A and B are shown apart, each in its own frame.
Chain A
Amino acid sequence: MSKLTPPLPKFLRPAPPRPSEKEPTPDIGEPNGKPGRADKLRESAGEGGAQVIGWLDERTGTSPFLRGFLFRKVPKGTNWFYSLGSATMFAFVSQAVTGVFLAMYYNPDATRAYESASYITNEVFAGELVRGMHKWGSTVMIVLLFLHMARTFVFGAYKYPRELNWVIGVVLLVLTLAMGLTGYLLPFDQRSYWATIVAVNLNASAPLIGPFLADFLRGGAEFSSVTITRFYALHMLLIPGLIAALIGAHLYLVAKLGTTAPPWLRAEKKELTKEEI
């Protein structure tokens, strides 16, 4: 009998039993009250969302990771200053998002850049707002970054075993400043043009490597049409990629090593250990 029925496609055939189950659950529940597959489905439809999350979690191991990452122990005395790093990262994320949307209207061509930038400001819906957020957000990010750095320095959080994180942070600082420099040219008005001329010539003033560094930045011996595309590529592809990767490394080390207690608490702790001895 079964040989006469055409073979069903794989997805229509009943699922084979899992190792834990003894026999396949029938589709329809039996009259004696044993639930069938349909009943089980109906039952679980209500908790579908939870099931999706559970499915993902089982396969990615997110929740043990998040438990370790979000609910890690922090030292006594942790205060609002400890949020400066996340604030800087939030500023970076907002720069990245507004930057991506600005790139939809911006045209990095020396003859079109200024017009496209003013088109964003004057014509595009909320363009002024998005461009303004990107422009002022860059300043905010640098201010927050310096505050975060000052907190780390004053609290002595750069000391063993966190030296490497300080070094990564310094690289992030340099990259962020490089973002400021490369982004400054993009509106391509008189101020950006001359500021870039001066900035490139500052690079040229380094002995031996200076002239070559300036050539690299300009893409040639003179400021030309490739300079702006170069700055654009650095500004929206190369440097942000590096920053995102290094933020990842920075956060990994924070999670791995934990944060430092404020210095005034550490003094207290020392006394305690003395008493214990």
Chain B
Amino acid sequence: MAENRSDKNRKPRYTADRGMPGAFEGETVTRRGFMTGGALAAGGIASAAFALPALGFALAPMFTDGTVDRWQDVGPESDFNPTAYVPKVINTDPGVGEAGKATIYVRKFDPESDKPSPSDGGSDPIPYVVLSTRCVHLGCPVRYYQAPKRFVCPCHGGIYDFQGKVDGGPPVRPLDRFEARVTNGRVEVGERFSVNSELRRFSPRDPSNHLDGLWQYLYPARPST
């Protein structure tokens, strides 16, 4: 009995059984329904054929590694010392002219005060501490003051200490650093990387991305770096 009822409620499989005019024997979809579906599918495929590549075109930079392995000369070793930062200008993107230039602060690595080392494993410390001037709050340029040995951000009052760690204000992690090496007595600066409050090394992140504790999982590394 129950089976009978459910049979009655279900639509018959064949269009002929549903009493449709002009239905064919053994047909499950009306020709009108089939044409509508076919036209929609054809339109969908045609739109996808141009929309998907166009979307990929616009989104590709998010998924392609745009970092270039470049070492830039910033001066002879004699320019730098472990007690004061020296500002230098490097070119982070030659394609944008003046806007691609960035100021960095360079000093010699000091084995006494600079433990723990920011480099992975810590066995081979980077011989120079090279700090990015980009504030990790929202990206304004910070400035170094020698007397208090602090970096100060003009925008919202972020303050960093001599190692680039946060001393006050809204920034969420220490200043970003750069790879550095010495070739033939000249100091060369390489890729940027980010550090957390223990100076552990991370892939380059945007300002405002936390890297400590559970927070670091909310700001994942991007495929573009």
- Interfacial residues, chain A to chain B (CB-CB below 8 A): 110-111, 188, 193-194, 197-198, 200-202, 204-205, 207-208, 210-212, 214-216, 218-228
Contact = CB atoms under 8 A, between A and B. Distances in A.
Those 10 A-B pairs whose CB atoms lie nearest each other, nearest first: A205-B208, A225-B95, A204-B206, A207-B218, A110-B96, A111-B97, A221-B224, A220-B66, A219-B61, A215-B62
29 contacts: A110-B96, A110-B100, A197-B138, A198-B138, A198-B140, A201-B206, A201-B207, A201-B208, A204-B206, A204-B209, A205-B206, A205-B207, A205-B209, A207-B219, A208-B219, A211-B221, A212-B222, A214-B206, A215-B61, A215-B62, A216-B59, A216-B62, A220-B61, A221-B204, A223-B96, A224-B66, A224-B93, A224-B100, A228-B96
Please report whether the interface of chain A is mostly helix, strand, loop or mixed according to DSSP: helix
Interface in B187-215: 204-209
B191 to A, nearest CB: 11
Contacts of A111: 96-97
Please report whether the interface of chain B is mostly helix, strand, loop or mixed according to DSSP: loop
Nearest to B93: A224
Given A198-B140, A205-B209, A211 B222 contact: yes
Given A208-B220, A220-B64, A228-B96, 14 more contacts: A197-B138, A200-B206, A201-B206, A204-B208, A205-B207, A208-B218, A211-B209, A215-B222, A216-B61, A216-B62, A218-B61, A224-B66, A224-B100, A225-B96
Nearest to B219: A211
Given A201-B138, A221-B67, A212 B219 contact: no
Contacts of B205: 211
Contacts of A204: 206-209
B225 interface: yes
B92 interface: yes
Interface string B54-88: 00000101101011000000000000000000000
B48 interface: no
Q: Chain B interface residue count: which class?
A: 20 to 34
B139 interface: yes
Interface of B: 59, 61-62, 64, 66-67, 92-93, 95-97, 99-100, 138-140, 155, 204-209, 218-222, 224-225
Contacts of A226: 61
Contact of B208 (A110, A202, A208): A202
A215 B64 CA distance: 10
Contact of A224 (B95, B220, B221): B95
Contacts of A216: 59, 61-62
A208 B92 CA distance: 26
Contacts of B225: 221
B66 A221 contact: yes
A220 B139 contact: no
Given A207-B218, A211-B222, A110 B95 contact: yes
